[in-house]
Amino acid sequence: MFNNESLAIFEKISDAFLVLDREWHITYINPQAEAFMEKKRADVLGKSLWMVLPETVNSTFYMKCHTALKKGTMSHFNDFFAAFKRWFAIRIYATEEDIFIYFLDITDQKEIEERARVSQWLEQAILDSLTATIAVLDQQGTIVVVNEAWKRFAQENGRYQDEQNSDVGTNYLDMIARVKEGDSDFDDAQKALHGIHAVLQGSSTAFSLEYPCHSPTQKRWFLMNVTSLPQLPGAVTTHIDITARRLAEEALRASETQAKHLLDSNSIGVIIADRNYILQANDAFLKLIGSTQEDVRNRCVTWSGITPPDYDDLDQKAFQELLERGVWTPFEKELYRKDGTCVPIEIGAAQLQDDPRQFICFVLDISERKEKALEHRKDDFIGMASHELRTPITALKGLTQLLERKLERQNIHQFDPYLSKMEAQITLLTKLIEDLLEVSNIQAEVLDYDKELIYVYDLLHEVVETLQHSTKMHIITLSEVAHQTIVGNREKLKQVFTNLLSNAIKFSPYANKVDVKIVPDTHKVIISVQDYGIGIPQIHQHEVFQRFYRVRDVQRNYMPGLGMGLYIANEIVQRHRGRIWLESVEGVGSTFYVSLPALS
């Protein structure tokens, strides 16, 4: 069958080699085939191949052998022999008489291939399992590998939704360059182009960029990282969704801004403190206690330094509550100012989360609230006192008149001057008490006037006449320009003009006249009371209508009064839908005007 030379070759070659007759009987087996079949030549020669390798019957190998035999052609294929756990590249030649079979053991090569396949698969699986979107670029910027997240990202985001746009084969740089000038992300795209280019060219090893990728319904941010590949040209590009972080940062910034606004706002004092020191304070707080930022920085503002000893117990309780509950219920106390005076405040606090030894306090200046409460108590007191005083004064007045009548009947006149002085004093006292009561009624808003038709001239005439009796120095003139009628409470309006006239007389001790004028207007009447007295300094002119307001200067020191007259007059005029104002020049005199709605 073979000559000796070729036999020697077959004996030596590294491939297994079999020769069979057309009945599948083995006629030659080389040592390599003996080895891989784990059979001895003597045991297999003359035997059918299918008897020697029964496990291969009906296998691919079996089929291919039969086809080759039938068609008389050469067959070439790879097959795995499970029994020997080996891969072979098999060649079968069939001639008229023989069948030749070569087995080239390719198990090692297959293993290498398989390992490469598995590792490639593993790499891809690992890449795909990552949430970061990853693409590998070659040196030209063409995408050579992408993971699943990248594909999803490409599908979900932006203009380049068509998958080819950012899948393997696309040039990533070209894709970014498609962002046009004027697009909102143009600047970011330019930065990205620059950065990726630098990494691909090797002039830098990494580049990163945070960029927004907002849709109409969702705000999102991504972090792009581009890193050069070790030892290979190209780069790895990843995009990580950093929306959660950015939103948290934004929320933090917003709350920090809010806290800063609060700290900077001058409406409320805000401090951060520990048990001993005020560590930080806003300007509102510093203004409240008259200290400076410098004092705070130098740790000169201490709790013990700003707390009057009376409040030590309250403070102690508050600190205890802060320890137990993390907050203390706001309470009222006082703080020392730097100048030693006290300011009433309300103070609440909450522990800081980062450092429970520190806490933030909100400090509210309640001086005004306290003052109002005090005012309220004062009003109540005035109301009650004037009410209580009225009864004994009325009794006193009655008794004086009784005494007067009794003495008169007994024809005793030696006490007359004393009695009339007593009466005058009682009248003064009664007027004072009535005024006090009126002020307290105004405060309590319990005034309700009966109104009637009044001829302004008649009313003023009556008042002028009465007042003229009280002064010997002044001539009071009443010049009437027109007859005007108004609707109002006669007694109350008399009270207004009585007050204006008595002030005019009282505050013009060196003048000899007071002028009263009635000036008609379309729908109103204006009455002016002009004196030529000491006048009212400009700065006090707005204040004189306030309750208990008196201008204090040397000239007025000896002039009696409690600052109630103009306040009451203003209230009465306002309740008649009118207005009261004044013009005055110090040392020249004052004119008070009252305007009231007139009946046409």
Which CB, 234 or 535, lies closer to ligand ADP?
A: 535
Angle at 207 between CA 205 and CA 212, to 5 degrees: 165
Q: Does 503 bind ligand ADP (CB under 6 A)?
A: yes
- Contact stretch for ligand ADP (CB under 6 A) within 209-217, 308-316, 446-454, 560-568: 560-568
- Interface with ligand ADP (CB under 6 A), residue from 397, 563, 575, 586: 563
- Tell me the pairing of strands 133-137 and 235-241: antiparallel
- Interface with ligand ADP (CB under 6 A), residue from 88, 153, 507, 532: 507
Tokens describing residue 224: 């792009």
Which CB, 494 or 556, lies closer to ligand ADP?
A: 556
Which CB, 21 or 586, lies closer to ligand ADP?
A: 586
Q: Does 488 bind ligand ADP (CB under 6 A)?
A: no
- Interface with ligand ADP (CB under 6 A), residue from 534, 573, 580, 594: 534
Which CB, 179 or 544, lies closer to ligand ADP?
A: 544
Site for ligand ADP, residues 573 to 592, rule: CB under 6 A: 590
The owner of tokens 């030749």 is: 100
Least separation in angstroms between residue 258's CB and ligand ADP is: 48
For the chain, counts of helices (H) and of strands (E): 19, 22
Site for ligand ADP, residues 172 to 231, rule: CB under 6 A: none
- Interface with ligand ADP (CB under 6 A), residue from 197, 550, 575, 579: 550
The owner of tokens 């979107």 is: 133
Q: Does 495 bind ligand ADP (CB under 6 A)?
A: no
Report d(CA 336, CA 573) in Å as an integer. Answer: 44
Least separation in angstroms between residue 596's CB and ligand ADP is: 19
Amino acid letter for position 488: G
Q: What is the CB neighbour count within 10 angstroms for residue 381? A: 11
Report d(CA 422, CA 399) in Å as an integer. Answer: 11
Q: Does 566 bind ligand ADP (CB under 6 A)?
A: yes
Which CB, 457 or 507, lies closer to ligand ADP?
A: 507
**Cα 517 → chain centroid:** 61
Of 515, 449, 514, 460, which is closest to residue 485 (Cα–Cα)? 460
Q: Does 166 bind ligand ADP (CB under 6 A)?
A: no
Which CB, 42 or 554, lies closer to ligand ADP?
A: 554
Which CB, 173 or 432, lies closer to ligand ADP?
A: 432
Q: Does 561 bind ligand ADP (CB under 6 A)?
A: yes
Is 423 within 8 Å of 405 (Cβ atoms)?
A: no
Q: Does 533 bind ligand ADP (CB under 6 A)?
A: yes
Least separation in angstroms between residue 558's CB and ligand ADP is: 12
- Contact stretch for ligand ADP (CB under 6 A) within 237-245, 249-257, 479-487, 554-562: 554-562
Q: What is the CB neighbour count within 10 angstroms for residue 438? A: 19
Is 575 within 8 Å of 449 (Cβ atoms)?
A: yes
Report d(CA 145, CA 596) in Å as an integer. Answer: 93
- Tell me the pairing of strands 475-480 and 513-520: parallel
Least separation in angstroms between residue 437's CB and ligand ADP is: 15
Least separation in angstroms between residue 552's CB and ligand ADP is: 8
- Interface with ligand ADP (CB under 6 A), residue from 531, 571, 578, 594: 531
Q: Where are any strands of DSSP class E within 47-132? A: 75-81, 86-94, 98-105
Q: Does 536 bind ligand ADP (CB under 6 A)?
A: yes
Least separation in angstroms between residue 278's CB and ligand ADP is: 45
Least separation in angstroms between residue 501's CB and ligand ADP is: 9
Least separation in angstroms between residue 561's CB and ligand ADP is: 3
Least separation in angstroms between residue 516's CB and ligand ADP is: 13
- Tell me the pairing of strands 589-599 and 579-585: antiparallel
Least separation in angstroms between residue 542's CB and ligand ADP is: 11
The contacts of residue 2 (CB under 8 Å, 6+ apart) are 10, 28
The single-letter DSSP state of residue 142 is B
The single-letter DSSP state of residue 515 is E
Angle at 167 between CA 162 and CA 169, to 5 degrees: 120
Q: Does 565 bind ligand ADP (CB under 6 A)?
A: yes
Of 243, 266, 209, which is closest to residue 131 (Cα–Cα)? 243
The H or E element that residue 264 is part of is: helix 243-264
Q: Does 528 bind ligand ADP (CB under 6 A)?
A: no
Report d(CA 5, CA 8) in Å as an integer. Answer: 5
Residues engaged in binding ligand ADP (CB under 6 A): 499, 503-504, 507, 531, 533-536, 544, 549-551, 556, 561-567, 590
